[in-house]
Structure formats: structure tokens, C-alpha cells
Amino acid sequence: MSSKKELFLLLLSDIIFVNLSWSIYYYIRIESGWILYTNPPSFFIPMVSVFCYWLIFFYFFGFYKHWFVRSRFDEFTTLFRVISFGCLILFFAIFLDDYYKEAKINSRFLILIYWGLMIFWVSLGRMIIRGFQFRMLKKGYGLRNTLIIGSGLKAKEVKEMIFAYPKLGYKFSGFISIKEDVSGEDEIGLLKDLHDIVGKHGIDEVIIASDQKYEELIISTLNVCSDLNVSVKIVPEVYEIVSGMVRSEQVHGIPLVEVKTDLMPFTSTIMKRIYDLTLSLAFLLVLSPLLLLIALFNFMILKKVFVVEEKIGKSSKNFRSIKFYTTDSGYSKFLRMLWLDKVPQLINVFFNQMSLVGPEPEKVEVVKKLTAEIPYYSRRMKVKPGITGWAQIKQGHYEQSEYYVKKLQYDFYYLENMSLMLDFKIILNTIILIFSFKSK
């Protein structure tokens, strides 16, 4: 089953069972006559509001992510924790509502009934969907064509796992040899031909399971799969696991590390663009008097208002970045310390050339140089550059001599952990950095 179909079924399940839970709760609380209300609350508007509340809550806790390889018990325990936390928040909301309406105190404890209804019905909906998924997978429907890079004991162990547990959703398509020839059983090609093999066999997933660690192997695989939007997982070394260097997930005894090629879900991408558009327009309107004042001062003091530079954006497309012109001393230093020189970049955000949060935009010549020196540097251009970002707020933590290397490490951390919550954290830390006067 594709991730889009799975998302549709999960949303449909929640629409039915979250609203069913509310309907039963409303009947017990209002229609049963247990509690007398002078002005009983309406049914429909609170139901829609509560459903939107749970939809946002479930989304931020990852309930609409692809749930392959996790057990139904793990999903249930996650549901239990999240619904319990959500109901605790609702308890205080009902407490305030009862207080202002002078309802009897026992009404607010009916939230325990609602908590039980939510856990039962939402879990039932998920169990029905997962049961349907697993039955389809066992029959061979919805499996993901999977390549294994490597041919040693580790690779064969992954192959055995795929055949032993069809509910994981993998369909073994063959091994990719990292040697100079194809000689082993089930080997269907060489690593240098990975791009063509992925297209020919309709590959959805690649698992790197080499008995030896090859940095070039990982880099070349990520470059190919990133361009083709194919998921990549790596079987890590034992040392990396025990030392905490990687965070792995055990899949029937085999540790797997997933490397994201789809950096952010479609819904998150849409929401990110909405808040980029909204906030950039709002800030431009609110700060317009300040911008005019800075422009006037720049013209009078520095004889130059803006600096417009050719930068590299998402998908390696060029765009013209606009900032206030500044120097390294005096009045200009104050502008840079408060990040006011970057405010005109809100225009770039508004026109979808940049985002509020993302890797810092680089000049064309810098990108060309670093792309030639670092094979995986192009992965940085998978997202729009940002006014602020993880690397920007960490700028004081490394020396100039290792500037680009460290910044790239921070950028890759952001790419692998992209979320609206991380964006919010970065924006909050940016505000703290600005008002601590520790900025550049």
C-alpha cells in the first residue's frame, strides 16, 4: 500500500472514530440527564473543534507517518500516551468551561470516559487498517521493490529477514555487487549502474549491507537515490551502535538506520510555505517604517542602501538575494548584530525563493567550489535556503578555518531532522540570540 493510500485510510479512520468518541461522550454528558445545564453546549461546533485539535495533535506526534516495520503493540502504546496527554489538556479546558458556566463539579471527571472512548475507538480503527495492510502484504500486494547493496553475510542476513517477514513490506529484487564483476547468486548489477538498475526494476528502497565500510559507496548511493526519491537504509557497524554514533531501529534483530530522501512530508511542506508566506508579509508590513528609516540612514551614511547578490537556491537554481548594505564597524555593525541587515530577505521568502528557516544561501562560486570538493554537498540544495537555520544559530561554535565543514554538518543535521517543530525551535533560538547581543 502506498503512503498516500495509507494516509487517506488513517485520516478516514480518525474522522470516523474521533467523532464517534465525541458523539458518545456528548450523549453521556448532555443527553443522558446526569448533569443539568441551563444552556447546554451545542453538538456540532465543539465536535469539529475537538476533531481539529486531535488532527493537529496526532500530526505533530507522527501518527500519519508510514508505519512499516513497527509492531501494532508499539503503535498502541504510542496512541495510549498521546491520547492520555491530549485528554489531560482537555480536562483543564473543560474545567475552565464548567467554572464559567457554574456546572456541577462531577461533569469534568467525565473526561475519563472520553479518554477511554478515544483509546478504544481510535485504536480499533488503527488495528483494522493495520490488519488489512498486513493481509495485503502477505498476499504480495503493496510490497516495495528492494535492492540490497553488498553480497556478504550481512547482506544475506537482510535477505533472509525480507523472506521471513513479508509484513515488513519488502520485496527482494536482488543484490548489487560492489566489486568489478557480477558473479554471486541473485546479483543483478554493479554499483556504478545503480541509477539504471533502479529505473529498470522500479526500485522503491535500497538497503546498504556491506560487510566492509565504504565511504564512497554510501555517498554515491545517497546521491543516486536522493535524485530518484528512493528510500535508503543502512545496516550500521556494531561499533557505531554501541558508541551512540548512530540511532538505529531494530527490525527483527537487524539494526537499520534510515537516511531520509523525502526530507519533509507533503503536508508539512504546505504548512511551512503557508507560515513563510504569512509571516514574511506580516513582518514586511509591520517593519516597513523601520525599513524605510534604515534605508534612509544607509543612503546618508554609507551612500549605498542594498546589496544584491547572485545566490544558489533550491534545486541549484539561481536567485538574487537582497540585504541591507553593511560594513564591519559603527552603525552597520549594530544592524548585523540585530540581524536587521537580513530583513529585506523577507522579500525573497515572500516570492518563494527562500524560507524563514533553512541552510544559509551561498554565492555561486562558493557552491561550485564546494560541490567539486565534497561529493555530497549538492544534497544541501534539496531545500530552500533560509534567513535563519540550525547552522546560523550555531555560528559561534566553530572557528573560521573549519567554517564550511562545520556549517555543512549542521545543515545536514537540519535536513535529516526537518520538521515544523524544529523550525519553531530555531526561530525561538534566533530571537534569543538576537536579544542576547551575541550575534555577528
pLDDT given for residue 307 in this prediction: 94
Say what the alpha-carbon torsion angle 111, 112, 114, 120 is, to the nearest 10 degrees: 160
pLDDT given for residue 166 in this prediction: 76
pTM score, two decimals? 0.59
- CA distance linking residue 114 with residue 121, whole number of Å: 10
Strand (E) or helix (H) holding 362: strand 362-363
In this structure, which topology does domain 144-259 adopt according to CATH? Answer: Rossmann fold (3.40.50)
Closest C-alpha among 126, 146, 150 to residue 235: 150
DSSP string spanning 311-343? Answer: EE-GGG-EEEEEEE---SSHHHHHHHHTTGGGG
Say what the alpha-carbon torsion angle 11, 13, 16, 22 is, to the nearest 10 degrees: -90
- CA distance linking residue 236 with residue 125, whole number of Å: 35
Residue spans per domain, the chain: 3-138, 144-259, 266-435
Cell for 272?
511551512
Residues 6+ away with beta carbon under 8 Å from 354: 313, 319, 321, 345, 348, 361, 384, 385, 386, 387
pLDDT given for residue 240 in this prediction: 47
Cell for 257?
538506520
DSSP string spanning 155-224? Answer: HHHHHHHHHH-GGG-EEEEEEEE-SSS--STTEEEEGGGHHHHHHHHT--EEEE--SS--HHHHHHHHHH
**Whole-Å CA distances, 61 to 9, 13, 41, 74, 305:** 18, 17, 30, 14, 45
- CA distance linking residue 217 with residue 191, whole number of Å: 8
Residues 6+ away with beta carbon under 8 Å from 375: 216, 219, 220, 223
pLDDT given for residue 239 in this prediction: 42
Closest C-alpha among 133, 240, 155 to residue 206: 155
Please give the single-letter amino acid code of residue 317. K
- CA distance linking residue 23 with residue 205, whole number of Å: 42
pLDDT given for residue 372 in this prediction: 84
Give the angle 223-227-231 at the CA atoms, nearest 5°: 80
- CA distance linking residue 205 with residue 68, whole number of Å: 13
The 10s digit of each residue's pLDDT in 326-355 is: 987 777 888 888 889 999 999 999 999 999
DSSP string spanning 18-33? Answer: HHHHHHHHHIIIIITS
pLDDT given for residue 122 in this prediction: 93
**Whole-Å CA distances, 146 to 8, 141, 255, 368:** 24, 14, 17, 34
Closest C-alpha among 380, 382, 360, 355 to residue 370: 380
Cell for 64?
500519519
Closest C-alpha among 378, 381, 392, 413 to residue 247: 413
Per-residue pLDDT tens digits of the chain, which is 440 residues long: 566 777 888 899 999 999 999 999 888 877 766 665 556 667 888 899 999 999 988 887 778 776 555 567 777 888 898 899 888 888 777 677 666 666 555 555 678 888 999 999 999 998 898 888 778 777 777 788 999 988 788 888 888 888 887 777 888 999 988 776 666 678 888 888 888 999 899 998 899 887 666 666 777 787 788 778 788 888 876 444 444 444 556 565 566 777 766 667 666 788 899 889 999 999 999 999 999 999 999 999 888 999 999 999 998 899 999 999 998 777 788 888 888 999 999 999 999 999 999 999 999 998 988 888 876 788 788 899 999 999 888 865 455 556 777 788 888 888 878 888 889 889 999 988 888 876 55
CB 78 within 8 A of CB 61: yes
CB atoms within 10 A of CB 66: 16
3-state secondary structure 78-111: HHHHHHHHHHHHHHHHHHHHHHHHCCCHHHHHHH
- CA distance linking residue 8 with residue 5, whole number of Å: 5
pLDDT given for residue 53 in this prediction: 92
CB 35 within 8 A of CB 103: yes
DSSP conformational letter for 61 = T
Closest C-alpha among 239, 184, 233 to residue 209: 233
